[in-house]
Structure 1
Amino acid sequence: MMKTKVKTWIGLVLVIGSACSNVTSNQPQAVEKPSVSVFDYGVLSSGKKVEQYRLVANNIKLNVITYGGIITHLEVPDKNGVFADVVLGFDELSSYEHRNRFFGAIIGRYANRISHGKALIDGTEYQLSTNRKPHQIHGGYQGFDKVVWQAKSAVSANSASLILTYTSADQEEGYPGTLNAEVTYQIFNSGKLAVTFKANTDKATVFNPTQHSYFNLSGTGDTVLGHRLTLHAKQMVELDDDGIPTGQLLAVKNTALDFLTPKKIGQDINSQNKQIIIGKGYDHYFKAKHTRGELTEIAQLYEPVSGRKLTVSTTEMGVQLYSANYLDESVIGKNGVAYHAQQGVCLETGQMPNAPAEPAFKTLLVKPEQPFSSTTEFVFTQH
């Protein structure tokens, strides 16, 4: 990775050196006011240059690259004030480009699966690309996780922001309409990361973006099986044997998928529940509310040794819980460490999976007169 600093916007503290400096520290760190720095990160096989932005605030530090809008590092303190990186990822651009596991990426146009790539939009059926044959997953072959975003930053007294923009052409991956997408990452001194999606289009289309970070609040090489998870969702989407939603909702209470009260992720992950078997663990959408629009708490994740707690609130109806079931030792992550299954956990807020192809699920349409907006907040505290 190239580590040349280009410029820095700052409230008080000047960040010097590597973009990944102080990713893990053994000592509590001094108070820092919001700042943003930008570095050269590398060059894609296409020849396009990629930059890395480092956002710093008092209780949270964030590294993002313009390729895929990927969060490469997210550092928060433990109960003793010691910072550590709490997301999975790679050390270099080539791995993000060629060994894609959606680590930390912006997903779009449509997160999750669409059966046979069929999208019904205003009475017209569109054939989308099918990158997970015979279905589409996470936007197709060239989803939002594989494009270079334009970036600009801003700093205020209590926050630092990165605004990413990308124009998705009409018929890109089969989707109708030219879609102008904007994603804002904003970190606050309090330890909050807010992710806001906006979009407008010149033609009716579907849009269901999400942020795909794999969290591990221990900041170590341990799995997340000991993390305690709460999901404020009484229903989950049933999957068929191919992992595609059936259009049915199942009650979670008193099942292996019941996280209505705090439970270790590993408690029931080896259950013989059919849905667990299909997902090889947790890879399911949990519906928390009937309508989208109001920012409400949807999940809590707690790691008792470090004392780190993550509270997730969203304007969306639900969240896809993924326990990294398909990671294995062939995936070499940061610092050359081989990752394992359940090394991280994803909390992917968004709309109902497969909605464009499933008549039982309402599809949210983005139209010229109906732009898109969505917010998810990740709040880190210590207990």
Structure 2
Amino acid sequence: MIETTQIEKTSWGTNQGKEVFLYTLTNALGSQLQVATYGGILVSFKTADKAGNFGEVLLGKDNLEDYLDNTCYLGVIAGRFANRIAKGKVTIDGTDYTLATNNGENFLHGGAKGFDQKVWDVVEEKSENGTTSLVLSYVSADGEENLPGTMTTQVKYSLTDDNEIVLEYTATTDKKTVINLTSHPYFNLKGEGDIADVDLKLNCEFFTPIDETCIPTGEIISVKGTPFDFTETKKIGLEIDADYEQNRIGVGYDHNLVINKPYGEFGFVGEAYDATTGRAMSVYTTEPGIQFYTGNWLEGEKGRNQTALIKREGFCLEAQHYPDTPNQPHFPSAELNPGETYTQKTVYKFFVK
């Protein structure tokens, strides 16, 4: 145990004419979280295993220059609208908006230059009462990525002495718009290698199947009798390559699952566990859905030391609204009006067992 929580700031280069900083947050257990002001990236999280040895549990890169080529969105804040929108088409109050199609024929994770490629401003940094926090802000101009409204977003990153990474988002707009914010960390509880042997349990009884372009069909179906049933703990890799159309389309898992809790309520999403290291992680959120992605397209992406990552070297549990929500009126709404404040809270809690 260290005596106090700490926060340190390091210059990490410049981008878009602004200095970029890397912040290191340390808790009383000795765990360390690194956050970059470029893209709001979760760069690193080192925490203890069952033997007390500290190791990396996030996929990441070494420096700012490497993150300028981040095709798999390692650790970024995805916005204004995370995940996919069909054919880049959105209609808001009768006005049609055409967005970038940067994922085949669809819009993905904010478009051509989303929040993942912006330099965020530092609003606050502090360490007190067992929690170390950093608040970043970004003002997205009216019409940025062709979406309406000047949108002001803040993300608060906290590392607690209970070994929790807490992400709290707020946003306001001066015109009606759509919003879906999430963080995109890739977890590997043993540090490297395939994640097939990770045990996973999800509090999700339904999921939203996708078409051949990875857009939700609009259906919301039961996970029972499908490879998507993680209501009881099983290995991620057990049915990942099952002879099931949804696994074929996603090349594994790359789907939104419906969290079994009242809409807007903060609640339990699931738990992952690696028996080799004893590390476990539980997830909680206010969001209605969780995008479960098994790194099916990681192969060739450069990680630390310019080492090529392998397919399925990390898994993502991205708390968010459902993909393509603006075009699916029966999905929970992702609209934001002037005078309203968008809020989102997600917690990743780490422990050993």
**Under a length normalisation based on structure 1, what TM-score does the superposition of the two structures give?**
0.89
**1:300-311 to 2 correspondences below 5 Å:** 300-311=271-282
Which residue of 1 is the match for residue 145 of structure 2?
A: 173
Whether the aligned pair in 2 keeps the contact of 1:289 and 1:318 (CA below 8 Å) is: no
Which residue of 2 is the match for residue 261 of structure 1?
A: 232
Inter-partner Cα distance in structure 1 for 2:225 and 2:2: 45
1:212 aligns with 2:184: yes
Which residue of 2 is the match for residue 116 of structure 1?
A: 87
Whether the aligned pair in 2 keeps the contact of 1:32 and 1:57 (CA below 8 Å) is: no
Which residue of 2 is the match for residue 5 of structure 1?
A: none
Inter-partner Cα distance in structure 2 for 1:258 and 1:362: 22
1:381 aligns with 2:351: yes
Which residue of 1 is the match for residue 339 of structure 2?
A: 369
Superposition deviation, residue 290 in structure 1: 6.4
What do residues 115-137 of structure 1 show as CA deviations (whole Å, max 9, x unaligned)? 01112223333222222242100
Q: For residue 278 of structure 1, give the secondary structure of its aligned residue in structure 2.
A: helix
Structure 2 residue ranges without an equivalent (≥5): none
Change (3 A) 1:32 1:305: farther
Inter-partner Cα distance in structure 2 for 1:160 and 1:294: 25
Inter-partner Cα distance in structure 1 for 2:329 and 2:261: 16
1:335 aligns with 2:305: yes
1:92 aligns with 2:53: no
Superposition deviation, residue 360 in structure 1: 3.5
1:318 aligns with 2:289: yes
Which residue of 2 is the match for residue 4 of structure 1?
A: none
Inter-partner Cα distance in structure 2 for 1:135 and 1:178: 24
Superposition deviation, residue 74 in structure 1: 0.6
Inter-partner Cα distance in structure 2 for 1:292 and 1:153: 31
1:191 aligns with 2:152: no
Which residue of 2 is the match for residue 16 of structure 1?
A: none
Whether the aligned pair in 2 keeps the contact of 1:35 and 1:160 (CA below 8 Å) is: yes
Which residue of 2 is the match for residue 31 of structure 1?
A: 2
Superposition deviation, residue 210 in structure 1: 0.3
Alignment RMSD: 1.3
Q: Structure 1 residue aligned with 2:325, among 350, 355, 361?
A: 355
Inter-partner Cα distance in structure 1 for 2:66 and 2:9: 20
Q: For residue 36 of structure 1, give the secondary structure of its aligned residue in structure 2.
A: strand
Which residue of 2 is the match for residue 19 of structure 1?
A: none
Larger mean Cα displacement after TM superposition, 84-93 or 353-362: 353-362
Superposition deviation, residue 272 in structure 1: 1.0
Whether the aligned pair in 2 keeps the contact of 1:32 and 1:56 (CA below 8 Å) is: no
Inter-partner Cα distance in structure 2 for 1:155 and 1:99: 30
Which residue of 1 is the match for residue 209 of structure 2?
A: 238
Superposition deviation, residue 365 in structure 1: 1.5
Superposition deviation, residue 215 in structure 1: 0.2
Q: Structure 2 residue aligned with 1:149, among 105, 108, 120?
A: 120
Whether the aligned pair in 2 keeps the contact of 1:79 and 1:307 (CA below 8 Å) is: yes
| Counterpart residue type for residue 259 of structure 2 | A
Change (3 A) 1:83 1:71: same
Q: Structure 2 residue aligned with 1:299, among 270, 275, 282?
A: 270
| Counterpart residue type for residue 308 of structure 1 | R
| Counterpart residue type for residue 136 of structure 1 | F
**1:264-283 to 2 correspondences below 5 Å:** 264-283=235-254
Whether the aligned pair in 1 keeps the contact of 2:269 and 2:284 (CA below 8 Å) is: yes
Whether the aligned pair in 2 keeps the contact of 1:229 and 1:263 (CA below 8 Å) is: yes
Structure 1 residue ranges without an equivalent (≥5): 1-29
Which residue of 2 is the match for residue 7 of structure 1?
A: none
Q: For residue 220 of structure 2, give the secondary structure of its aligned residue in structure 1.
A: strand
Inter-partner Cα distance in structure 2 for 1:178 and 1:289: 33
What do residues 295-328 of structure 1 show as CA deviations (whole Å, max 9, x unaligned)? 1001111111111110000001110000000011
Inter-partner Cα distance in structure 2 for 1:32 and 1:353: 43
Aligned length: 351
1:285 aligns with 2:264: no
**Under a length normalisation based on structure 2, what TM-score does the superposition of the two structures give?**
0.96
1:70 aligns with 2:47: no
Which residue of 2 is the match for residue 8 of structure 1?
A: none
Which residue of 2 is the match for residue 83 of structure 1?
A: 54
Seq. identity, %: 37
Larger mean Cα displacement after TM superposition, 285-294 or 180-189: 285-294
Q: For residue 167 of structure 2, give the secondary structure of its aligned residue in structure 1.
A: strand
What do residues 54-81 of structure 1 show as CA deviations (whole Å, max 9, x unaligned)? 1110233110111000011011111122
